[in-house]
Structure formats: C-alpha cells, structure tokens
Chain A
Amino acid sequence: MPPEQSIRKFILENYLFTEDEQALENSASLIEMGVIDSTGVMELVAFLEEQFGIRMLEDEMVPENLDSVDRIVAFVIRKQGVTAGNAAASGA
C-alpha cells in the first residue's frame, strides 16, 4: 500500500473512527483539527516506525514533519530514501 493510503487509513481508523475519506484532507493540520495530541503523536511515530521500517530521531518529531498527511508522507519518503541510501553505502 502506498504511504499516503496507509497513513490516511491509520488516521481515519484509529483517530477519527470513520471510513469517510472526506473527513480528512491531506493538507489539514492534525493539531488544529484536534485529531492528535502528544500521546497521539507517540502512537503515530510508533506506527510510522513499524510500518515503514524507519527510526525517527528526536529532532525530527516536529510539526513540520507530522502535522498533516502531506507532511507525514513527504517525511516518510525522504526518510526511506536516506535509509535506503545508507544501506546501499554500507553494502547491505
């Protein structure tokens, strides 16, 4: 499943309890919408790490990376690219 679809599904099912795709705009601020709080962020980070095999660094846990579906998707793709690059560089 592409990152965008998988992230949307996680948020819609776990935070909004709905299957209505209209309930979540990709550009909407999850904080301003009241969708996530600090525990919600920790759960989101756990999901991203498990689902996409990435390790989120402390200084990456900022709204610029996590406050909307668009931002999360961009962050995951960027992070996967870095991870893949590191793996290639180490010959893994």
Chain B
Amino acid sequence: MPQHPGRKLMSVERAVEQGERAVGSTSPFLAMDTEREIHRITRRIREELGGALKRRGLVVAISGGIDSSVCAALAVRAVGPDRVVALILPEKDSSPTSRERAERLADYLGMAREVEDIAPALEALGCYRRRDEAIRRVIPGYGPGWKSKIVIAGGAQGQFNYFRLVAESPEGTPFDERLGAREYLEIVAATNFKQRIRKTFEYYYADKLNFAVVGTPNRLEYDQGFFVKNGDGSADIKPIAHLYKTQVYALAEALGLPGEICSAQPSTDTYSLPQGQDEFYFVLPYQKMDVALWAHNSGKTAEELAEMIGLTVSGATAIYADIEAKRRATRYLHLSPRLIAPVPEVAGQAGETRLEAP
C-alpha cells in the first residue's frame, strides 16, 4: 500500500480526548478508532474505483478546509499520490489564505495540483452581476468595494428559518436586512454558479484522466443538505459523508495533516464577508451541531440533549425541529431525477452508491 508523509497511529483514548477537547464533555459518543476507520475508508475507495466506478484515480477539489483536506489525504492513502489530482479553484470572493493553505497541502501530500481561476467563467456567466443586482434591490447603494454575506436566523429560536443580508460599505458602514424570498433565491442561485463551475472543472479533469470525482461533505452537511445540487453535491464517491465533523477533525490528526489544516475554522469561502458555516446554515457551532445530530439519530430526548450541550429544553426541542426542517427542505437535493415509470434494465437508478454503514 502506498505510504505518505506523516502517517501515524491514533489511539481510541486519544480520539476521545480530542473529541472532549473539541466539544467539552459531550463528545465521547463520537470517538472512534481512527486508524481502523482510515483503513476501512481507503479499502472501500479502492473497491469502488476498481468495481462500480472503473476509474484509475481520483480528482479532489481542495479549499484548504478540513473536509476536502481529509478527503485528499484519504485519497492519497488509498491509491497513492500519483493517482490523485488536487484542484484549487479560486474566484474573486474566496480567501487567498485558503488557496495558499490548499497549495501547501497538495505539496505536502505529494499530489499533482492544478490551479484554475474560475472568476473569468463566473464573470462571463453573470454570477457577480446577477447577485449584485438582487442585493441592490435590498440595499440600493450596494456596488463595487462593498462586501456581503447571507446569515441564517430563526431556527434556534423556534421560528421558521429565514435569511438576512449582511453587507458592509467600502467606508465600513454595516447593513443588515431581512431577505425576501425572491431576493434570497436570486442571490443563492447566482452564487451557486461557483460550486457548479468548480464541479465542471472537476469533471473536466476526471474525464481527461479517466479518474473519479471525490465529493467532500461530512455527515452534518450531507444529512442537513448543506450543498449545491449538481455543484459540490455532485460526485462519484463521498468518503466522509458518514462521519460527523468532530470525527473528521480526529481523522485529520490521525492522517498527520499539518496543524494549519487541523485548526482551520469551517468557512463557506463563498461570500465576500467572512462567513462561518454556523452563520449561513447551521444554527449551532459544529461541535454542538454534531452532538445534536448524533443525539437525534440515537433517539435521545430533548431533555437529554439539553443536558449534553448546555441548552434549555425548549432550545434543544427547537434544534431537533430545525434538524427535521432542514431534512425536509433539502430532501430534493438528494433525489435522483424522478422517472414516470421504472426502467428496470438500467442499473443504478436508485441513486448513489453508498459506503457500508458505519
């Protein structure tokens, strides 16, 4: 099996300790034998490549964040650095720091890396123009030099989720307005060009090399629908979709990834103002969101969850309701195209190939 830099073992005790450090005393549930998990994932990747996928290697778009870094390291561990291509796909609003971190990671793992600036393609498609036109209907003065992001609200308070547009003028004046359905949908639709153009590049390289495309969602993102359909949601294999984010951090350590990756804070890297994932989509920071999702999946009551993560019972009840609301709202993202009648001769209609249950 190919080796790669920094390989080291991690004990269950260490994983538990790290989990506890990450989420206080609430995360032992998420502890796992990281070496065993790495072995299981890498074996499955090879089986899928040689079996259903019949491709010769893997394309991974890396952002410098924890999920894509872990997926890249797993890919290298599975098939060796010569059979993995890392793509770095910056645009106008993505952080230069993320790009540099991604470049260092690719070099560290010994993979080939290709940098494709997707800004010209996005300009040509009108991504930025369409987004800014929608923003201007909410904040008429919005223009060059301004920065913006979308922030989620409501879910943690037992309200329906809604979205706010937060912007900052070049002089630093802040704006914060509730988004109506039309403007929200238009801003998101324009912004989704980014994920879809990135995926277009990933499949360009995959087709050119006869490789498969790795999707990098963790369990929170996969379960709660935090991805763009036919954008970052599209892939041939999703090696960490069954792992909670806390577990992905544990894998990063076990895979020997550099400290700057292991300590990277989750960010969407999609809007021009800094935006944490818990601002845009999740109602809690990932450490608590992990525990909440785990507790919900494990049949724990709201009272038990409240105790685990230090919330009121009504707060925990609202979190459970929000988890279900997001599942409902994003079920469509997981659906394969609906057929009017079955075509049984065509295999694989049911959707994605899934890794075995954890």
- List residues of chain A with CB under 8 Å of any chain B CB: 31, 34, 37-39, 41-43, 45-46, 49, 58-59, 61-63, 66
Contact indicator A39/B185 (Cβ below 8 Å): yes
- Chain A residue with minimal CB distance to B329? A37
Q: How far is A38 from B224 in the complex, measured between Cα atoms in Å?
A: 13
Query: Is B325 within 8 A of A38, CB to CB?
Result: yes
Of the listed stretches B27-35, B157-165, B342-350, name the one at the interface; the rest are far from the partner chain: B157-165
- Residue B181 interfacial (CB < 8 Å): yes
| Residues from chain B with Cβ under 8 Å of A45 in the complex | 162, 180-181
Report B152-195 CB contacts with A as 1/0, cut-off 8 Å. 01100111111100000000000000101110110000000000
* B136 close to chain A: CB less than 8 A: no
Query: How distant is A71 from chain B, measured CB to nearest CB, in Å?
Result: 13
B181 touches A62 (CB 8 A): no
Q: How far is the CA of A63 from the CA of B324 in the complex (A)?
A: 14
The answer to whether A38 touches B181 (Cβ under 8 A) is no
Q: Are B162 and A58 in contact (CB under 8 A)?
A: yes
Contact A63 B329 (CB under 8 A): no
Q: How far is the CA of A12 from the CA of B180 in the complex (A)?
A: 22
Given contacts A42-B181, A45-B181, contact A61 B325 (CB under 8 A): no
Check B184 against A42 for contact (C-beta < 8 Å). Answer: yes
Whether A62 contacts B159 by the Cβ 8 Å rule is yes
> How near does chain A come to B335, taking the closest CB pair, in angstroms?
13
**Cβ contact of A39, chosen from B154, B158, B181, cutoff 8 A:** B181
Contact A61 B181 (CB under 8 A): no
B-side contacts of A58, CB under 8 Å? 153-154, 159, 162, 178
What are 26 pairs between A and B in contact, CB < 8 Å? A31-B325, A37-B328, A38-B160, A38-B161, A38-B162, A38-B326, A39-B181, A39-B185, A41-B160, A41-B162, A42-B163, A42-B180, A42-B184, A45-B180, A46-B181, A46-B182, A58-B153, A58-B154, A58-B159, A58-B162, A58-B178, A59-B157, A59-B159, A61-B160, A62-B158, A62-B159
Q: Which residues of A contact B329 (CB under 8 A)?
A: 37-39
Asked if B159 contacts A61 (CB within 8 A), the reply is yes
Residues from chain B with Cβ under 8 Å of A34 in the complex: 328
Which chain B residues lie closer than 8 Å to A41 at the CB level?
160-162
Tell me the complex Cα distance, A75–B181, Å.
Answer: 20
Q: State in angstroms the CA–CA spacing of A63 and B322 once bound together.
A: 12
Given known contacts A42-B180, A45-B181, A46-B180, A61 and B162 CB-to-CB distance under 8 angstroms: yes
Could you tell me the distance in whole angstroms from the C-beta of B245 to the nearest C-beta in chain A? 22
Q: Note all chain A residues with C-beta closer than 8 A to B328.
A: 31, 34, 37
CB distance from A88 to the nearest CB of B (A): 27
Contacts of B161 in A (CB 8 A): 38, 41
CA distance A46 to B160 in the complex (A): 14
How far apart are B169's CB and chain A's nearest CB, in angstroms? 24
Residues of B within 8 A of A66 (CB): 160
B157 closest partner in A (C-beta): A59
Nearest B-chain residue to A59, judged by Cβ: B159
Q: Which residues of A contact B154 (CB under 8 A)?
A: 58, 61
Q: What distance in Å separates the Cβ of B143 from its nearest Cβ neighbour in chain A?
A: 25
Chain B, residue nearest A67 (CB): B160
**A89 to B: closest C-beta gap in Å:** 25
Asked if residues B159 and A43 are in contact (CB atoms below 8 Å), the reply is no
Chain B CB within 10 Å, residue with most, of A41, A46, A49, A63? A41
Closest A residue to B158 using CB positions: A62
CA of A49 to CA of B227 in the docked complex: distance in angstroms? 30
CA distance A66 to B161 in the complex (A): 13
User: Which residues in B have their C-beta under 8 angstroms from that of A39?
Assistant: 181, 185, 329
What 0/1 readout, one digit per residue, does chain B (36-60) give for beta carbons within 8 Å of chain A? 0000000000000000000000000
Q: Is the CB of A37 within 8 A of B180?
A: no
Most buried by B among A43, A45, A49, A58: A58
Q: How far is the CB of B153 from chain A (nearest CB, A)?
A: 7
A85 to B180 CA separation, bound complex (whole angstroms): 26
- Having A38-B161, A39-B329, A62-B160, one finds 9 other A-B pairs with CB under 8 Å, namely A31-B328, A38-B160, A38-B162, A39-B185, A42-B181, A42-B184, A58-B162, A58-B178, A62-B158
